[in-house]
């Protein structure tokens, strides 16, 4: 069959234009270029690291500060047992195929998406053998050397290491930041004054040993992830929907996808819950906030959608999941955040593997219940006799099991499997007791919005890029622009540079990010600033020496107003906090 064309062979597109600008002006570029580079790693330069940090700070203002969430920081290297408990060791495997000629290795399902036109859903559900057959049927060959593709196998995408000098102390580079929150849940719950709901955020590096990352900052082996874990009582799923009422989401529910359509439904968030498209209130709430957050980064609503993951696409911990996707010129619809209802899966797994009780107690309001309950009383003498030094661990494990389940197993099989131990009838006494219930114990449920900081940075750049007057202009939101203000003397003589440097120092002392530039003509300096997205330019001219006023230039419209130097700090702070518009900064020139 005829092989589909490689999109990289097409004419220069927006991705290439933005990437060239990013490299030339110091936003990002491939890492280790002097050694030929390594795919899946990028370096954020002076402007890129500032832009990325400002986007993360905007996330903090938008979510953490506004909703009263906690932020923590845990280690990147994680003991193997954590990911054995969470299921990642078993689940983080991807289909790989190797070129027989150049020996390069690729994600088999990604090749089918890129060169055979299969959707992510179609390619993602295929077995290794089915992937092999599809690749052969579509004539897919190596995208690097056009060689034939060989054996298909699964590849574990977590980076493995050893902790300390002991070969058996296995650790993994975390593929997500969420487990660092789950393992610290008990302490965090205490810090939350033992009240639900509450949320915890971690912003930090994660590692995924991608097989063949070939999408620049879109798919990296080391990246910054923003994981938000929100803990709540599943019997009290009551988010403040009035805060997002009227927000319309472009949804592609699973039922629509199963009919072969990818046409979004435009549904108001409360209506989406009512119709059952979104099954959990808190999940819908955070999806609505995520849409608003991307709008504030410059992505219009019509270029966003939420696509529900089908059962075989969902992560192993997810009961329902949506990907928030953004349309990019080269790559099409790309995920920038994932929204998953993780139920009590993670805390339950860590409770099982660590033998630490992750349940919370919630007191009934103004009432109690008396009920007959089955209880277990360990027969300590018999347990010590049979289990010796393991007796204490056996007793501890018995305290966390369901008495009815144990009783049923003893009657049906004559023993109860308790981890590596077998509990016999003589090891326990099973009795009935009337108990006054003042509350209930349960494992909290979790919804998780998870964002890729690197992807957000690239998306913000692509949507900001445009041209004006035949030259590049980055229309970055004013609160994430890496350089806030440019200060320029009109000419480099007659005392203007000295005055300009005074203004530059004053603005720096006010905590603003300011660039000083006196190289070349004023027009060239404006153009350089527009190209990196500097929202405002402050120009010192001869009139400044007379009355201590300056012109302020708007990046997008090129309009100018005139203001007194002494008023600049207050005016500019208001402007960058969206409490003032450009017209409020001075009198038109």
Q: 524 pairs with which residues across the strands? A: none
Q: Can you give the CATH number for the domain in which 571 is found?
A: 3.40.50.800
Mean pLDDT of 265-274: 97
Is residue 227 included in any domain, yes or no? no
Measure the CA–CA gap between 131 and 147, rounded to whole angstroms.
17
Is residue 391 included in any domain, yes or no? yes
Give yes or no for residue 210 having a pLDDT over 50: yes
Both 418 and 510 in one domain: the answer is: no
Q: Domain ends where: 403, 437, 471?
A: 437
pLDDT of res. 122: 79
What percentage of the chain exceeds 90 in pLDDT?
Answer: 79
Q: Domain ends where: 156, 176, 198?
A: 156
Both 514 and 568 in one domain: the answer is: yes
Give yes or no for residue 10 having a pLDDT over 80: no
Both 576 and 494 in one domain: the answer is: yes
Both 503 and 428 in one domain: the answer is: no
Both 502 and 408 in one domain: the answer is: no
Band of residue 1 on the pLDDT scale cut at 50, 70, 90:
very low
Q: What is the pTM of this model?
A: 0.85
Is residue 105 included in any domain, yes or no? yes
Number of structural domains, the chain?
3
Encode pLDDT of 234-249 as tens digits. 999 999 999 999 999 9
Both 426 and 491 in one domain: the answer is: no
pLDDT of res. 426: 94
pLDDT of res. 62: 97
Both 566 and 489 in one domain: the answer is: yes
Q: What is the span of the domain harbouring residue 526? A: 483-588
328 neighbors 217 (Cβ within 8 angstroms): no
pLDDT of res. 11: 65
112 alpha carbon, distance to own chain's centre: 26
Encode pLDDT of 221-232 as tens digits. 999 999 999 999
pLDDT of res. 420: 86
Both 424 and 498 in one domain: the answer is: no
Mean pLDDT of 373-387: 91
pLDDT of res. 202: 98
Encode pLDDT of 57-97 as tens digits. 999 999 999 999 999 999 999 999 999 999 999 888 889 99
Is residue 330 included in any domain, yes or no? no
Residues contacting 181, CB < 8 A, separation 6+? 72, 74, 188, 200, 202, 227, 229
Is residue 297 included in any domain, yes or no? no
Is residue 448 included in any domain, yes or no? no
Q: Can you give the CATH number for the domain in which 106 is found?
A: 3.30.40.230
Both 584 and 487 in one domain: the answer is: yes
Both 404 and 498 in one domain: the answer is: no
Is residue 247 included in any domain, yes or no? no
Is residue 504 included in any domain, yes or no? yes
The DSSP code sequence of 439-502 is EEEEPPEEEEEEEEHHHHHHHHHHHHEEEETTEEEE---TTT-S--EEEEESSSSTTHHHHHHH
Give yes or no for residue 28 having a pLDDT over 70: yes
Q: Can you give the CATH number for the domain in which 405 is found?
A: 3.30.720
Encode pLDDT of 479-521 as tens digits. 999 999 999 999 999 999 999 999 999 999 999 999 999 999 9
Give yes or no for residue 218 having a pLDDT over 50: yes
Average pLDDT, the chain: 93
Q: Domain ends where: 381, 408, 437?
A: 437
The DSSP code sequence of 280-340 is -HHHHHHHHHHHHHHHHTT--GGGEEEEEPPTTTS-TT-SEEEEEEEEETTTEEEEEEEEE
Neighbours of 364 (CB within 10 A): 11
């Amino acid at each position: 069959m005829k092989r589909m064309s490689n999109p990289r062979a097409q004419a220069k597109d927006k991705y290439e234009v933005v990437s060239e600008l990013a490299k030339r002006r110091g936003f990002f570029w491939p890492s280790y270029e002097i050694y030929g580079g390594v795919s899946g790693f990028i370096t954020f330069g002076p402007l890129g690291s500032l832009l990325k940090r400002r986007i993360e700070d905007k996330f903090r203002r938008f979510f953490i500060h506004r909703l009263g969430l906690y932020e923590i920081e845990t280690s990147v290297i994680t003991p193997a047992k954590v990911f054995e408990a969470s299921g990642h060791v078993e689940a983080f495997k991807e289909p790989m195929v190797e070129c027989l000629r150049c020996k390069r290795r690729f994600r088999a399902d990604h090749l089918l998406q890129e060169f055979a036109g299969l959707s992510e859903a179609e390619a993602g559900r295929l077995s290794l053998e089915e992937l092999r057959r599809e690749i052969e049927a579509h004539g897919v060959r190596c995208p690097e050397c056009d060689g034939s593709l060989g054996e298909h196998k699964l590849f574990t995408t977590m980076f493995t290491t050893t902790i300390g000098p002991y070969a058996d102390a296995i650790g993994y580079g975390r593929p997500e930041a969420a487990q660092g929150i789950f393992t610290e849940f008990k302490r965090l719950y205490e810090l939350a004054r033992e009240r639900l709901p509450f949320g915890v955020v971690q912003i930090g590096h994660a590692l995924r040993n991608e097989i063949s990352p070939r999408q620049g900052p879109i798919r990296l082996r080391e990246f910054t992830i923003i994981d938000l874990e929100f803990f709540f009582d599943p019997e009290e799923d009551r988010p403040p929907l009035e805060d997002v009422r009227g927000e319309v989401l472009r949804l592609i529910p699973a039922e629509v996808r199963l009919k072969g359509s990818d046409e979004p439904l435009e549904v108001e968030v409360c209506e989406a819950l009512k119709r059952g498209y979104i099954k959990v209130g808190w999940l819908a709430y955070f999806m609505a906030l995520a849409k608003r957050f991307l709008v504030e980064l410059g992505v219009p609503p019509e270029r966003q959608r939420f696509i529900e993951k089908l059962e075989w696409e969902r992560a192993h911990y997810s009961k329902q999941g949506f990907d928030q996707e953004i349309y990019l010129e080269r790559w099409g619809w790309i995920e920038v955040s994932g929204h998953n209802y993780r139920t009590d899966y993670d805390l339950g797994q860590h409770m099982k593997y660590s033998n630490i009780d992750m349940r919370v107690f919630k007191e009934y309001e103004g009432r109690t219940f008396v009920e007959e309950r089955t209880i277990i009383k360990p027969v300590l003498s018999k347990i010590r006799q049979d289990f010796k030094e393991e007796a204490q661990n056996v007793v501890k494990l018995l305290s966390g099991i369901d008495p009815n389940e144990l009783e049923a197993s003893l009657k049906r099989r004559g023993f109860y499997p308790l981890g590596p131990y077998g509990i016999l009838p003589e090891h326990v006494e099973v009795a009935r007791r009337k108990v006054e219930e003042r509350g209930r114990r349960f494992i909290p449920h979790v919804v998780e919005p998870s964002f890729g900081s690197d992807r957000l940075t690239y998306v913000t750049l692509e949507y900001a890029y445009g041209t004006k007057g035949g030259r590049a202009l980055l229309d970055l939101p004013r609160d994430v622009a890496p350089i806030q203000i440019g200060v320029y003397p009109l000419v480099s003589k007659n005392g203007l540079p000295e005055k300009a440097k005074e203004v530059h120092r004053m603005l720096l002392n006010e905590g603003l990010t300011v660039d000083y530039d006196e190289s070349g003509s004023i027009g060239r300096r404006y153009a350089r600033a527009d190209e990196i997205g500097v929202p405002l330019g402050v120009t010192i001219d001869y009139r400044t020496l007379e009355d201590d006023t300056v012109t302020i230039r708007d990046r997008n419209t090129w309009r100018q107003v005139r203001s007194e130097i002494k008023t600049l700090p207050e005016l500019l702070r208001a402007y960058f906090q969206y409490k003032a518009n450009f017209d409020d900064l001075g009198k038109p020139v």
